[in-house]
Chains A and B, each alone.
Chain A
Amino acid sequence: MKNIILRTATAYLIPLLLLFSVFLLLRGHYHPGGGFVGGLVASIAFVLHGFAFKMQNTLRLMKFHPSKFIPVGLSVSIISSILPMFFKKPVMTGLWLNKPLPILGNVGTSLFFDIGVYLVVIGVTLNILFTISDSGQQ
């Protein structure tokens, strides 16, 4: 399917969606949003790209297979949740930097946990969709 309008629109929508997804991710602790919705929006950006430019091109754009996000995201989440164990605190206990950072506000393990969730969601969604469309081509 060659569709100029969709392609052009997609080209400017994707950065927007990605931006928006990061926005949702980072503000989750204070406002509606968070890693999960953020991840969904980010993956929707790539899905859109897939619809417009064919999934193979999207894969090429991403350079590596989105399934790689899954273990990375999981690791981020796991590490941020077991990190407190090394400080003699139970798993998942929030560890916070003493001072709030600019923009991000308070930075703690739960932020990284959410980032892990974000990555996993992207990986999962895209992996599912790309696998399906890939096997559909055969």
Chain B
Amino acid sequence: MIQHLIILPVLVHLITGTVNLFFWGKPQPQRVMSLLGTFTAMLIAFALFNQVRSEGVMVMHAANWKAPFGISFVADTFSSSMVLFTSFAGFAVSLFSAAGISAVRAQYAFYPIFHFLLMGLNGAFLTGDLFNLYVWFEVIIMASFVLITLGGSKAQMEGGVKYVSLNLLASVIFLTAIAIVYGLTGTLNLADLAITLPNIKNQGLINITALLFFIGFGIKSAVFPLYFWLPSSYHTPPSAVAAIFAGLLTKVGVYAMLRMFTLLFHPDDFMTAIILIISLGTMLTGALGAIIKTDLKRMFSYLIICHIGYMVGGLALFTQAALGGAVFYLFHDMMIKTNLFLIAGVIKKIRGTTNMPKLGGLYHSYPKFALLVAIVIFSLAGTPPLSGFWPKIYLFQAGFANTSWASNYYVIGLIFSSLITLYVLAKMWKDVFWKKQPDTQIHVPDHFQPLSFMKKLSLILPIVFLASITLYIGLDAERVLTVANDIAKEMLNPKPYIKAVLGHL
């Protein structure tokens, strides 16, 4: 029974997706199935998380082959909490899609692919096998290819081509790195590799491999200067899709990075410096981009990039505080970024655009929605005591504690980009909510008002749901912090992980 729990987060989406395929062309049953599936997934994720918290690292050996020989699934605190947060985002987006996804999309590809995407994410979090991780990444990118082009508008196609090409490049690099790792060790099990890799004589080669992994995951998580696909594409799909992308896709890259660089590799000085510079570049790129974008979705896209820099930098600093901060930020970011795009979706429904100069007056017409958004954006801006604040403390601490020259830049970048984030979000608030609605937009009909109560509920409830999770993270930071700290400890001391998988050290 225990073993099965690990794989259930994957299976539940696999089955939901497949069953949805049988209802091809019929949106209503798919909607219901999807809600049911994501809700069940949430319950399962909770159960898994609790079990891991109480019993420690859990392992399932698929096909019953013991560790380095089969594919092992491992749930430690990190992976199980990622699964948990993913399930929140999944549930919210599923709920949102009930009214937020146009009928044509919902009829065909959306729901099955959506579930396969969630499945891929859960798989990537839980797998304990390097090549299996590659497969999960492919599942994720294939699903995202479909979702990002679903609907077939010109902008989607244009973004899609860039998205597809650059992500495929990332996959190839990832595969190349896997080839090298297998060539060096003859094994693919992460725990086994954690033991084997340090014994390789040519450590220079290991560093190269680490770099390749970093580049591969770096493209996926959109770090500077590898980020281009993200601002090219994230604004094009419907908001529900963009939400799941924003909340989860780049984050799985960060997750993989954190996993690889704590379990298999340890950043050396060169690597630390490189990653810190990259993280600085990422923060600046995102911040500078966000300042000048006038479209909500485009601006949010750059904010995603900006905040990836925080986490990547946390990895480079490589102390318990830094890793804990990065992980905490990761959780927070998953919830917030998903929510931001859902909010953008509602705004688009209301005003027919997400272009800020054309928006305005929402404070007047939708005051409670405005309040909801305020919670979200101030959490993102890191306003204490909301969720974005806590990890920043850790990151600052780690940045100061590190003595390398690059860490100073990291701290400066952290301050600068936090300030820009605050500015950008406050400006967005001003433009979207406070400002009077420009006259040119008056004739655009409000698509939100005429919706039925249920539909309105399905659009607003997920935002409330995610916002309350964000609030919870912020106000009961102790819980999340404990988890983040435990994760950081797990990362710095992978022995329990290895022991659980291999049965020995």
Contacts and interface: CB of A to CB of B under 8 A. Distances in A.
A71 interface: yes
Interface string A84-102: 1100011111100000000
Interface stretch (B59-67, B285-293, B446-454): B59-67
A85 B11 CA distance: 11
Interface stretch (B18-26, B354-362, B369-377, B461-469): B18-26
Contact of A91 (B22, B24, B62): B62
B7 interface: yes
A93 B63 contact: yes
B3 A90 contact: yes
B33 to A, nearest CB: 13
16 contacts: A70-B21, A71-B18, A71-B22, A71-B24, A78-B18, A84-B64, A85-B4, A89-B64, A90-B4, A90-B60, A90-B64, A91-B4, A91-B7, A91-B60, A91-B63, A94-B63
Contacts of B3: 90
A93 B18 contact: no
DSSP class of A's interface residues: helix, strand, loop or mixed?
A: helix
A75 B112 CA distance: 14
B121 interface: no
Of all A-B residue pairs in the complex, the 5 with the closest CB atoms, nearest first, are A92-B63, A71-B21, A93-B64, A92-B62, A74-B18
Interface of A: 67, 70-71, 74-75, 78, 82, 84-85, 89-94
Given A67-B24, A71-B18, A92-B63, 11 more contacts: A70-B21, A74-B18, A75-B18, A82-B11, A90-B4, A90-B60, A90-B62, A91-B4, A91-B60, A91-B62, A94-B63
A35 B7 CA distance: 24
A71 B23 CA distance: 10
Interface in B1-21: 3-4, 7, 11, 14-15, 18, 21
A56 B64 CA distance: 46
Interface residues of B, number: 15
A45 B392 CA distance: 60
Nearest to A72: B22
Contacts of B4: 85, 90-91
Contacts of B24: 67, 71
Contacts of A93: 63-64
Contacts of B61: 90
Contacts of B63: 90-94
Contacts of A82: 11
A84 B60 CA distance: 13
B311 to A, nearest CB: 32
A89 B61 CA distance: 10
A75 to B, nearest CB: 6
Contacts of A71: 18, 21-22, 24
A16 B14 CA distance: 35
B11 A74 contact: no
B372 to A, nearest CB: 39
Contacts of A70: 21
A67 B14 CA distance: 18
Contacts of A74: 18, 21
